């Protein structure tokens, strides 16, 4: 069929073919659109791995990229533990898990209530996981949870009083992995254990005042002891701008990720086998997630209307969540990352270098870790005191209510 049509166009002219000139104009445009879309979608994962019997903890697994990662891993037989802020009885969560089980033909999908904006909630889950004999199986932790304040938005605050981006993107992951570290180190030596961090290229604009400066390393021992004793330190902050605080949280996360790899690798196993847990950092690229939509729409209705008007453009230049998940899947399934030293940085399913070499600085990694530990200790102590006061206040209010009820009942008699 195509040959006679081409011959007719060649010998009799394009005008002799019905809608010939329209086809000539439209086909190149569609071909260009296809090429551009393939380019912006990025590289697809081609690695495969049998995930049956693998236990995977995943944060952010109910929306965006995390939901696609959860779906793909579950379809390959992985046992998923979704950490979610939704109550376990929430109808949305119940329906989501049931639908995921049905679509992946995998019944080994459960959820745990973990509010990543609460250090106490993280500790309750992580200590429960670690406090088990023999140690529970844990093959992989995938950290997809992320927050991003839209332009012009006001600072959000976590339950512990931390700025939202810093608290969820960095401190939550630091606290979670710090407690789960024994569970990772206790896995058998023949098990392929991976910790996958989700980050983004914004880390290049990040900064850590008071930590990445030379003066932070030269503080006197007397000053450090006083800070440790008082549990307080003069705040060193940066002016709040949504892009800057997000970049700083990712910069800190990547610095911690490399430090965490050193922390795991330095552990001497009782059986003298080499450590088998490896850290992998993943930049999924710009993706049409709910968080990205909120950022592009500036968190406003007018912005959302403009986003919808420009949706064809965003559809073209932004990845779908399915393609955004490809590098995560590559990190989870590529065989070569089950060996080696870990601490690799992946984008578009290939290894890339760190633009900001500071993240590899051991001195800054140590200072960040120490400062984060100190912050967690102070905030958890304050949180414990607050919960005790609330509990006592509730008990006092209950006794007062009972006391007020008593005379009324006697009067009625």
First-last CA distance in the chain: 100
Q: Would you state the structure tokens that stand for residue 81, as one six-digit string?
A: 């533990």
- DSSP lists the bridge partners of residue 198 as 282
Sign for the CA dihedral angle at 66, 67, 71, 74 comes to positive
Q: Would you state the structure tokens that stand for residue 157, as one six-digit string?
A: 């605050």
Q: Beta-carbon neighbour count of residue 136 at 10 Å?
A: 15
| Chain centre to alpha carbon of residue 327 | 14
Which residues are identified as catalytic? 250
The three-class DSSP label of residue 162 is coil
CA dihedral 369, 388, 145, 301 (to 10 degrees): -130
Q: Which residues contact 397 (CB under 8 A, 6 or more apart)?
A: none
- Torsion angles phi and psi, residue 221, rounded to 5: -65, -35
The three-class DSSP label of residue 177 is helix
- Torsion angles phi and psi, residue 109, rounded to 5: -125, 120
Q: Beta-carbon neighbour count of residue 5 at 10 Å?
A: 13
Helix (H) or strand (E) holding 194: strand 193-198
Residue 44 to residue 14: CA distance in whole angstroms:
39
CA dihedral 303, 304, 305, 310 (to 10 degrees): 90
Residue 306 to residue 297: CA distance in whole angstroms:
7
Residue 334 to residue 368: CA distance in whole angstroms:
31
Which residue is it, tokens 């009625």? 412
């Amino acid at each position: 069929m195509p040959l006679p049509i081409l011959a007719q166009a060649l010998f009799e002219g394009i005008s002799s073919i019905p809608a010939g000139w329209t086809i000539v104009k439209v086909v190149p445009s569609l071909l260009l659109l296809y090429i551009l879309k393939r380019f912006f979608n990025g590289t697809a994962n081609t690695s495969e791995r049998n995930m049956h019997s693998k236990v995977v903890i995943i944060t952010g697994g109910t929306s965006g990229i995390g939901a696609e990662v959860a779906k793909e891993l579950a379809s390959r037989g992985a046992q998923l533990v979704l950490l979610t802020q939704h109550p376990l009885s929430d109808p949305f969560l119940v329906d989501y898990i049931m639908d995921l089980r049905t679509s992946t033909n995998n019944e080994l999908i459960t959820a745990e209530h973990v509010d990543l904006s609460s250090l106490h909630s993280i500790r309750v889950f992580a200590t429960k996981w670690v406090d088990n004999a023999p140690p529970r199986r844990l093959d992989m932790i995938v950290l997809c949870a992320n927050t991003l304040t839209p332009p012009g938005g006001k600072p959000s605050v976590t339950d512990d009083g931390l700025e939202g981006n810093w608290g969820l993107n960095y401190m939550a992951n630091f606290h979670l992995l710090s407690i789960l570290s024994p569970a990772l180190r206790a896995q058998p030596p023949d098990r392929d254990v991976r910790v996958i961090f989700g980050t983004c290229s914004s880390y290049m604009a990040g900064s850590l005042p008071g930590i990445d400066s030379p003066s932070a390393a030269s503080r006197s021992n007397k000053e450090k002891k006083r800070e440790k004793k008082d549990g307080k330190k003069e705040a060193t902050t940066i002016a709040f701008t949504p892009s800057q605080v997000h970049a700083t949280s990712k910069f800190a996360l990547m610095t911690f990720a490399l430090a965490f790899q050193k922390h795991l690798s330095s552990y001497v196993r009782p059986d003298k086998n080499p450590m088998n847990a490896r850290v992998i950092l993943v930049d999924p690229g710009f993706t049409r997630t709910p968080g990205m939509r909120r950022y592009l729409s500036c968190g406003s209705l007018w912005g959302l209307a403009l986003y919808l008007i420009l949706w064809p453009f965003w559809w073209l230049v932004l990845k779908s969540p399915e393609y955004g998940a490809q590098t995560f899947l590559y990190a989870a399934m590529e065989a070569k990352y089950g060996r080696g030293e870990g601490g690799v940085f992946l984008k578009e399913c290939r290894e890339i270098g760190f633009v900001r070499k500071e993240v590899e600085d051991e001195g800054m990694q140590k200072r960040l870790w120490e400062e984060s530990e100190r912050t967690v200790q102070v905030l958890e102590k304050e949180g414990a005191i607050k919960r005790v006061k609330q509990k006592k206040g509730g008990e006092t209010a209950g006794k007062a209510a009972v006391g007020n009820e008593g005379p009324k009942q006697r009067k009625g008699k």
